[in-house]
Structure 1
Amino acid sequence: MKDFNKTYFFSGIGGSGMLPLALILKSCGAKVFGSDRAHDKGESKEKFTVLSEFGVSLVPQDGKGVTEEIDSLVISSAVEKTVPDVQAALDKNIPILKRAELLAEIFHTAETGIGIAGTSGKSTVTGMIATIFDSQNLNPTVMNGGRVKNLEGDHKARSGSCLLGENKIFISEMDESDGSIDLFTPDIAVLNNIAVDHKTLDELKAHFTSFLKRSKRGCIINLEDLYSVELLPELTDKTILTYGIERSDADLSASNLQYFSDKTTFEINGHAVSLNVPGRHNVLNALAAIAASCLYGLTLENAVRGVELFSGIKRRLERLGEAGGVTYYDDFAHNPDKIAASLSSLRKFEGRLIVMFQAHGFAPLRMMGGEIIEAFKENFTSSDLLLMPEVYYAGGTVDRSVTARHIIDRAKQEGVNAHYFEDREKLASFLLETAVPGDRVVIMGARDDTLTDFCMKLMQNQSQAA
């Protein structure tokens, strides 16, 4: 990587997009400081320990750490001007960089940049490509929004959400939600799918089309996704690899799928694949990763062998364990497509579903509330339960015209067995009283780092009650 011999301060350094970028920047030679409200509260200690291990200095989020020696303050799109760190930077005329701007600067220093985009599956596909390239000793640098379980044991990937490599290859997840995808010019562009999430369909199509057209070496397109296929006429001058399931018109096609609770097996162009994550959606994710690897120049056989080493992303339908005959899953699903994909995977096996869905913001609930209800309605049986606490609130000014209670009321009208709870403690009590052996409990939602701890505590209390 290029030498970034400057001093940076990350406000909200524990965020899923901030922490890996801070570590990558540190590996590039920069001095890195940071603050986070969660660190001040003593929450999520593990990730802050990782930052400290890599020499990142953590200070309270009170603005006092933003001193004259700081060259740039780095913030995510979610950070508001009222945050003390931002106020301090403004008072001292310290330049303020958006996270994506800094990531793009680093991304473009690599010889080969691989960008993974789409409404769903970005973190998983990024993790799969990272695993394939790492298995071939290509030493890539990787920036991901999720923790790759099979890489966490490597010191270069201690945080799980990044891999600290060399400047030859940079693999990164792209973010369309804030429009920052427009900052990136990849060599290889991967598009998983397109569905309403954060932005309108027309806005998303515009972002993704522009992203694909900027690619230098070629594009990876999912033939299973109608809206992605609609972009193909715009890409006639590009090298394109397509993929799909049972698709004779695709460059890479999966066939003979067999589903298991913890894996999926299939064949791809004559090669047998044993994928260590369940679900049809993960077969598509694997195809995208294999296609990107082949476009880079790896053989199909090496790409297949590499993706078989992938064991999943933390909080992507992650089975945490079993207590009292009840199986517990921790899941990041938060938009209609992701919810439907997770439920569809679980639905292939026996057991009632009890899903706690915590919406990750009021705006997404306003935009996608109807589609979210439909995802549960289409994938639930009459015995399944939907439980919702109030919407996760991360601060700032919000429009609360649509709340979790509104969604639950509408879900009931659609025939979903749904229940609203004012807080998670009451929800937990109901869940523990209701769950019986054979049930499957899914804690579902994004942004809130405490959801995994909540799931683990439920499992612990279930075990004690058994």
Structure 2
Amino acid sequence: MQELHTLDQLGKVHLMGIGGVGVSAVARLMLARGLTVSGTDAKELPVLDDLREAGARIHVGYAAENLGDADTVVISSIIKAGNPEYDEAVSRGLRILHRSQGLAATMEGHHVITVAGTHGKTTTTSLIAFMLREAGISPTFAIGANIASLGFNAEYGAGRVFVAEADESDASFMNYQPDVVVITNIEADHLDHYGSVEAVHQSFHAFASLLPADGLLICCADDEGSRALAARMRRERPDLRVQTYGFSEDADRRLLDAHPRDNRFACTLEWGSGQETDLEIALPGNHNLLNAAAAFAVGLDCGLDPEAAVEGLGAFTGAARRFDFRGEAGGVRVYDDYAHHPTEVLAALRAARAVAGTGAVHVLFQPHLFSRTNEFHREFGQALSLADTAYVLEIYPARETPIPGVTSELVTKELDTAGGLVSTGQAASVVAACAKPGDVIMTIGAGDVTEQGSAILAELRTRLGS
């Protein structure tokens, strides 16, 4: 764990990459706590106006003089040496904190609930924050996506509870001091950082070990990695409270009889000795029922009445780019999802199958990162084969440089369904041509594939009418 900092140590704070979803959340909370905040981003973004209105001094375009009289600089993982502001901060000897360290400072004095996992953490964190707010607890929260149901991805509440999404991608979740840890699942990912699957699992173990005596660890019993962590922590830390949730028979919060119900998804949730309640949510798929069960377990620990907890969960309408309904044209529904790991892709397509009913499912997928494509191209191909047609764009590189021989063709070679490679310019027309009334189209990936949704809807209107 890194050195912990308190807000009164930070002085005036300058945030680099302030338009990013994670850094903007830190800025919003620091402003709410009364700090003097400035920041820079490479381009003008809508969130910057929100931060200006909240009192931040904002610059567009990096320059050394933008630091002004800052005492502390907060950066995201993409800020490196060579950035003029970063280099200026180093030359001045300013305190430089990772985004997660800045967020940890805003947690001071709170009961901290953190949600980690390879998949599902954004939705689960959002469900918890929304449920608690609906119940009148007024939590502070910081989430890795914009949440329409909550208004923003971060808000400073009047209550003592702080709910935060904990990012494992670079092990920065080790900067927190959680009182409650939720682990949705543990799988191989971010191997460019960790190097091995074993190191991934060890990182989650180290994170759970941050819990204090009588802290609460909540793990998914249906996921092998999360289940193993729960068992290990029960052996190593008898001073902790460890709970599990899932469809597994031995789960402490057990889900039964999952089924669609009028465009919603429902199940029975057993949560104690002979105690059960009906859980119904607006989010499709068994994986989202699991996310809701994790949130329910947190709600009980916060003292919520079970009926109040499920009522709040049922009113939540989703996080941005998590099975996000983009529109309907010609009887074809179009959804967008951020899934960028094979397990996430499979979960998204299973949900699409449930929503489509007797209709077909068509997917436009964009791999994210050369390293992840190289590691999981077989698994991506297998997951995408659940769709009736699967078209694949070229890899979205994000922070990486190309790896020789690693292209989207590695994925398409593994497809066991119709489809194949498609260019960005042709994607919308090619995918729309596959669909007929009653079908579902999904755009999937963590890159700019999300921009294809509106183009696909336009093509559908031309082909099938509105």
Structure 1 residues 68 and 240: CA distance shift in structure 2, 3 A = same
Structure 1 residues 339 and 363: CA distance shift in structure 2, 3 A = same
- Whether 1:27 and 2:32 are equivalent positions in the alignment is yes
Structure 1 residue 38: Cα displacement = 4.0
The residue that corresponds to 2:162 in the other structure is 170
Q: Distance in 2 between matches of 1:197 and 1:260?
A: 34
Structure 1 residue 175: Cα displacement = 1.0
Secondary structure of the residue aligned to 2:294 is helix
Secondary structure of the residue aligned to 1:116 is strand
Aligned partner (choices 198, 203, 209) of residue 213 of structure 1: 209
Structure 1 residues 301 and 34: CA distance shift in structure 2, 3 A = same
Instruction: After superposition, give the CA deviation of every residue in 1:92-145 in whole Å (9 maximum; x if it has no partner).
Output: 4433221112122322x1331101111111011101110111112212110101
Amino acid in the other structure paired with 1:233:
A
The residue that corresponds to 1:223 in the other structure is 221
Structure 1 residues 277 and 97: CA distance shift in structure 2, 3 A = same
Amino acid in the other structure paired with 1:282:
N
Q: Distance in 2 between matches of 1:261 and 1:203?
A: 43
- Whether 1:411 and 2:445 are equivalent positions in the alignment is no
The residue that corresponds to 1:346 in the other structure is 352
Aligned partner (choices 7, 11, 14) of residue 19 of structure 2: 14
The residue that corresponds to 1:133 in the other structure is 132
Structure 1 residue 30: Cα displacement = 1.7
Q: Would you say the 8 A contact 1:141–1:167 is kept in 2? A: yes
Q: Distance in 2 between matches of 1:323 and 1:291?
A: 39
Amino acid in the other structure paired with 2:25:
P
Q: Would you say the 8 A contact 1:241–1:295 is kept in 2? A: no
Q: Distance in 1 between matches of 2:312 and 2:8?
A: 30
Amino acid in the other structure paired with 1:394:
A
Coordinate RMSD, CA, aligned: 2.3
Normalization by structure 1: what TM-score? Answer: 0.88
Deviates most, 163-172 or 57-66: 57-66
- Show the 5 A alignment for 1:9-158: 9-39=14-44, 45-107=45-107, 109-152=108-151
- Show the 5 A alignment for 1:176-187: 176-187=168-179
Structure 1 residues 262 and 36: CA distance shift in structure 2, 3 A = farther
Secondary structure of the residue aligned to 2:21 is coil
- Whether 1:282 and 2:288 are equivalent positions in the alignment is yes
Q: Distance in 2 between matches of 1:398 and 1:176?
A: 24
Residue segments in structure 1 that go unaligned for 5+ positions in a row? 40-44, 153-159
The residue that corresponds to 1:428 in the other structure is 428
Structure 1 residues 417 and 207: CA distance shift in structure 2, 3 A = same
Q: Would you say the 8 A contact 1:5–1:29 is kept in 2? A: no
Instruction: After superposition, give the CA deviation of every residue in 1:217-274 in whole Å (9 maximum; x if it has no partner).
Output: 21111111122121233222121222112x4422211222221473211121321222
Aligned partner (choices 182, 197, 201) of residue 201 of structure 1: 197
Structure 1 residues 101 and 375: CA distance shift in structure 2, 3 A = same
Q: Distance in 2 between matches of 1:189 and 1:77?
A: 23
Amino acid in the other structure paired with 2:455:
K
Q: Distance in 2 between matches of 1:178 and 1:167?
A: 30
Secondary structure of the residue aligned to 2:101 is helix
- Show the 5 A alignment for 1:388-407: 388-395=392-399, 397-407=401-411
Structure 1 residues 337 and 261: CA distance shift in structure 2, 3 A = farther
Deviates most, 301-310 or 82-91: 82-91
Q: Distance in 2 between matches of 1:116 and 1:359?
A: 25
Q: Distance in 2 between matches of 1:279 and 1:233?
A: 27
Amino acid in the other structure paired with 1:265:
A
Secondary structure of the residue aligned to 2:185 is coil
Q: Would you say the 8 A contact 1:10–1:22 is kept in 2? A: yes
Aligned partner (choices 357, 381, 387) of residue 365 of structure 2: 357
Q: Distance in 2 between matches of 1:37 and 1:436?
A: 42
Q: Distance in 1 between matches of 2:82 and 2:459?
A: 39
Q: Distance in 2 between matches of 1:400 and 1:175?
A: 29
Structure 1 residue 3: Cα displacement = 5.5
Aligned partner (choices 342, 348, 352) of residue 336 of structure 1: 342
Q: Distance in 1 between matches of 2:256 and 2:451?
A: 38
Normalization by structure 2: what TM-score? Answer: 0.88
Residue segments in structure 2 that go unaligned for 5+ positions in a row? 1-5, 271-275
Q: Would you say the 8 A contact 1:4–1:28 is kept in 2? A: no
Aligned residues: 442
Instruction: After superposition, give the CA deviation of every residue in 1:55-80 in whole Å (9 maximum; x if it has no partner).
Output: 33321223245334122222211223
Structure 1 residues 221 and 395: CA distance shift in structure 2, 3 A = closer
Q: Would you say the 8 A contact 1:261–1:278 is kept in 2? A: no
Aligned partner (choices 299, 318, 326) of residue 312 of structure 1: 318
Secondary structure of the residue aligned to 2:149 is helix
Q: Distance in 1 between matches of 2:67 and 2:185?
A: 43
Structure 1 residues 5 and 86: CA distance shift in structure 2, 3 A = closer
- Show the 5 A alignment for 1:252-331: 252-260=253-261, 262-269=263-270, 270-331=276-337
Structure 1 residues 352 and 88: CA distance shift in structure 2, 3 A = farther
Q: Distance in 1 between matches of 2:405 and 2:75?
A: 28
Secondary structure of the residue aligned to 2:308 is helix
Q: Distance in 2 between matches of 1:464 and 1:309?
A: 35
Q: Would you say the 8 A contact 1:265–1:272 is kept in 2? A: yes
Deviates most, 255-264 or 9-18: 255-264
Q: Distance in 1 between matches of 2:118 and 2:207?
A: 14
Q: Distance in 2 between matches of 1:183 and 1:105?
A: 10
Secondary structure of the residue aligned to 1:308 is helix
